[in-house]
């Protein structure tokens, strides 16, 4: 397995797509110091400079997230909130959900089991 597979120990892979008026950024593998900058770049592009961004981060295949990854998610969430947009995390694994719970971010982020629909 390679990085594109998102396997543990292989770093991370990212994808960007559109769904029902939302920009969906997918993360597979480990989100850590080595990969957080790439996610930050994808999220910055998704947020843009104008309008009210609607961004989903699909973490279904994210196997690990350290403080560097959490900081990228927090910064993106704050930037989007300042623009009156919406930021959603979708499908965290139990391992990732535990990290969000322990850090208190489970109460901060809008976390869902499915991709949001238009509206």
Find the radius of gyration of the CA atoms of the chain.
Answer: 13
- Please, are residues 80 and 45 in contact by the beta-carbon 8 Å criterion? no
pLDDT value for 5: 38
| Mean pLDDT of the residues in the chain | 90
Contacts of 48 (CB under 8 A, 6+ apart): none
Phi and psi at 22, nearest 5°, equal: -110, 145
DSSP 10-28: S-EEEEEEEETTEEEEEEE
| Distance between CA atoms of residues 62 and 82, nearest Å | 26
Domains of the chain listed by start with CATH number: 3-112 (3.30.750.24)
Q: What is the pLDDT of residues 58-109, one digit of tens each?
A: 999 999 999 999 999 999 999 999 999 999 999 999 999 999 999 999 999 9
Output the six-digit token pair for 85. Answer: 């947009």
Bridge partner list, 118: none
Higher pLDDT, 104 or 1: 104
pTM for the model stands at 0.88
Residue with token string 């770093």? 11
Output the six-digit token pair for 5. Answer: 């597979």
């Amino acid at each position: 397995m390679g990085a594109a597979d998102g396997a543990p120990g292989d770093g991370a892979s990212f994808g960007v797509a559109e769904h029902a008026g939302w920009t969906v950024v997918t993360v597979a593998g480990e989100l850590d110091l080595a990969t957080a900058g790439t996610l930050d770049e994808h999220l910055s592009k998704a947020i843009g400079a104008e309008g009210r961004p609607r961004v989903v981060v699909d973490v279904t295949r994210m196997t690990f997230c350290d403080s560097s990854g959490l900081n990228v998610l927090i910064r993106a969430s704050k930037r989007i909130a300042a623009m009156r947009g919406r930021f959603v995390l979708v499908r965290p694994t139990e391992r990732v959900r535990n990290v969000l719970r322990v850090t208190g971010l489970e109460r901060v982020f809008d976390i869902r089991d499915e991709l949001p629909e238009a509206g």
